[in-house]
Structure 1
Amino acid sequence: MKWFIVTIVFFFFHISGFIPARAQTESLVQPDTLCSIYTINKMIDSVTFRPVLKAIQKYPDLADCHIEFRYKKLNTLMAARPTMDFLFCRKENRKYVIFVSTNSSNNCRKVFSRMSEQSMTGIIGHELAHIVDY
């Protein structure tokens, strides 16, 4: 009886491994609607617009948050920071800045311009996760 149960359990797990996973589908919402929802209070340049839009969809808490993208000389590719008045504002009213490196000495700008859209989306998503933590 014990071997029968083990065989049935093994067979079940063996068969369930062959069930194809559901393909991840893109959002059914129209792109214009996404732009109007997720770009409120955002200052996004044309280079990072599509990756930011894709990344911010994963963080619905940041839909109304004020986020600005600025270019600055950095040693890293990107950095997320709250603005200077964050201690005096409520969490709902805080403003954040994501700095994008313009430093040519460490080739960050070249790396960012050659990056695929998926890579940019991942890095921007990482910075947005920092904003969620703030």
Structure 2
Amino acid sequence: MLQTEKVTAAPDYSTYRSNKTIPKIIENEVLKALSFYPELRDTCIHFVFKRRIRKSVMQAQPKFSTMLSGKREYNINISAMFRLTTSAIPIHQIPSDIMVGWIGHELGHIMDYESKSVAQMARFGLGYLFSASFIKQAERAADTYAVNHGLGRYIVQTKHFILNHANLSEKYKSKIARLYLSPNDIIEQVRKLEEAELKAS
């Protein structure tokens, strides 16, 4: 008797496409990352390729013209090229799980923004411009949002990808190590979350 292989259907992330502008070439990764944030299902977010983003690969920002309206919109700017020390590759060519982790981190920023008033966002913008300690706090908050929403393993993979990449500049790696949660910090957060879930069950 012939046995047929069991085919597992791919998850349907289409419900997370609402109010989103997503380049087709990274749509799967973006929708997968969004699936960890049901709170953002109806939030208007534009994923925008940029030729270059100063000192960053991705950047989550509010659309300032919508800050005083009842429905905020956000941009997640994505560098079209992943720049290495002597070359560059299209950003969509980095491993899929790394892209999910990176986008998941940026969505963590949007979760943080959603919790802030206009005045708080103004202070946030000033702090991010002028205070290294504020940047560290903001980036770690975004990582924590991502971990708390179940993206821990993706964030760890993304951090390892950056910190262990032979062709990324040491300056950029140093910035990531200094300002963001380390892989070990994230693993510890995941462990504590799992312990809390076990106690609650």
Deviation at 1:71, TM superposition (A): 1.8
Specify the alignment match of 1:118 in structure 2. 97
User: CA offsets per residue over residues 77-111 of structure 1, 9 Å max, x none?
Assistant: 11010001243123xx100001011367x449616
64, 68, 72: which one aligns with 1:88: 68
| Structure 1 portions without partners, runs of 5+ | 1-27
CA RMSD of aligned residues (A): 2.4
Distance in 2, Cα, partners of 1:95 & 1:121? 21
Secondary structure at the residue paired with 2:75? strand
Of Structure 1 and Structure 2, the greater helix share is in 2
For normalisation by structure 2, the TM-score amounts to 0.45
Whichever residue aligns with residue 82 of structure 1, its letter is: P
For residues 3-35 of structure 1, what are the alpha-carbon distances to aligned partners after superposition, in whole Å with 9 as ceiling and x for unaligned? xxxxxxxxxxxxxxxxxxxxxxxxx8952xx30
Q: Percent identity?
A: 33
- 2:101 aligned with 1:127, yes or no? no
Aligned residues: 101
User: 2 CA distance for matches of 1:30 and 1:111?
Assistant: 26
Q: Is the 8 A contact 1:80 1:127 kept in 2?
A: yes
Specify every segment of 5 or more residues in structure 2 that has no aligned partner in the other structure, as ranges: 1-8, 114-201
* Structure 1 stretches of 4+ moved >4 Å: none
8 Å Cα contact 1:43-1:69 kept in structure 2: yes
> After superposition, what is the alpha-carbon deviation per residue over 1:36-60, rounded to whole angstroms, capped at 9, x for unaligned?
x100110111121011111001100
Q: Greater CA radius of gyration, 1 or 2?
A: 1
Distance 1:101 1:44 in 2: 14
What are the within-5 Å matches in structure 2 for residues 1-134 of structure 1?
A: 31=12, 34-35=13-14, 37-72=15-50, 73-75=52-54, 76-90=56-70, 93-102=71-80, 106-107=83-84, 110=89, 112-134=91-113
